[in-house]
Structure 1
Amino acid sequence: MSDTSWTDRIVGERMTVDQEFASQIEGSQFSNQQWSLIMTATEFEIEHADNPEQAQIVANTDNLDGIIPELENVQTGMGAMAGGGAGGGSSSSSGGGIVDSIMGALGMGGSDGSSEKEQREAAERLTQEYATELQSHLESKGKWETVRRTAADG
């Protein structure tokens, strides 16, 4: 279902969008290392590639379940460096990082299941925002139509 030929053609554009998207990562609940792991598990697809009016890049997050438990390990392994070096970190969480971990261990941050569910939902939202920004970038550079046709032919 996923076709990598169109994604291979936009590697340079993705690098540009990655740089532009960095501020959204800093404002999220995820560290850069966690975001890298999320992106590794995410595939981008073009839905309705054969229809110019409906075609859009979407984030396929079916593989996130395999890495969500690992996100905490990445954060824990980073220790204070991730929390202090991420530019303030979370805007949607009261503490973030170590504080959230302690609260969770004390049973005050919700169950692990809901925490993982919340992480998955946040990762899904952020990856779709990235997909939207990537498509917008391709459109602004005049490359979207070629990319869409390549995906439709694949």
Structure 2
Amino acid sequence: MSGQRWTDMIVGDRMAVDREFAQEVADSQFSRQEWGLVMTAVEFDIEHPEDDERAKLVADTSKVKQVMPEMENIQSQMNSMTGKSSKKEGRGVFGSVKDALGLGGGGGSGVDEERLAAAEGLAQRYADELQTRLESTGKWARVRSAVQE
């Protein structure tokens, strides 16, 4: 699949959905910064692009787990700014990367499975909104065609 080509076709649509989706993010358990971090780890794919009935834009969230330790740091920093206590000290970007790679030696996975599931669900809702927009603007068929090239 020529992934870069079809994703380039929808940049403007993604920007529009970002604006429209801002309220859903605000209503979620994630800050804007945390959501931005989640989205850096999400890739989009189209399942069954050749089939009008089954074609679906999906959020590949397989890499989101890798950014979860840094999300905890963001939350810790936000808590320290508001005077709330954090369950652990922030370890910085390098500490988070080491933890994500299993080199941190801090014990435990460091990943809140509930927050991970929430992030994955929110990412898929974003993908659904993006697909709806592409369908309503008449771009969906062209994007699906580009995926097949």
> If the TM-score is normalised by the length of the shorter chain, which range does it land in?
0.7 to 0.9
Shift of 1:116: 1.1
Structure 2 residues without counterparts, runs of 5 or longer: 90-107
Shift of 1:4: 2.2
Structure 2 residue 148 is matched with structure 1 residue 147: no
State the Cα RMSD in Å.
2.5
Amino acid at match of 2:59: A
2:28 match: secondary structure: coil
Indicate the residue corresponding to 1:91 in structure 2: none
Indicate the residue corresponding to 1:92 in structure 2: none
In structure 2, C-alpha distance between the alignment counterparts of 1:80 and 1:12, rounded to whole Å = 36
Q: Matches of residues 1-154 of structure 1 in structure 2 within 5 Å?
A: 3-79=3-79, 98=84, 101=86, 116-153=112-149
Change (3 A) 1:77 1:114: closer
1:22 match: secondary structure: helix
Amino acid at match of 2:21: F
The alignment's TM-score, normalised by the length of structure 2, stands at 0.78
1:67 match: secondary structure: helix
In structure 2, C-alpha distance between the alignment counterparts of 1:25 and 1:80, rounded to whole Å = 22
In structure 1, C-alpha distance between the alignment counterparts of 2:58 and 2:110, rounded to whole Å = 25
Indicate the residue corresponding to 1:86 in structure 2: none
2:53 match: secondary structure: coil
Change (3 A) 1:2 1:39: farther
Structure 1 residues without counterparts, runs of 5 or longer: 84-97, 106-111
CA contact (8 A) 2:2 2:147 kept: no
In structure 2, C-alpha distance between the alignment counterparts of 1:115 and 1:31, rounded to whole Å = 17
The alignment-based identity, stated in percent, is 48
Structure 1 residue runs of 4 or more that deviate by more than 6 Å after TM superposition: none
Size of the alignment, in residue pairs? 131
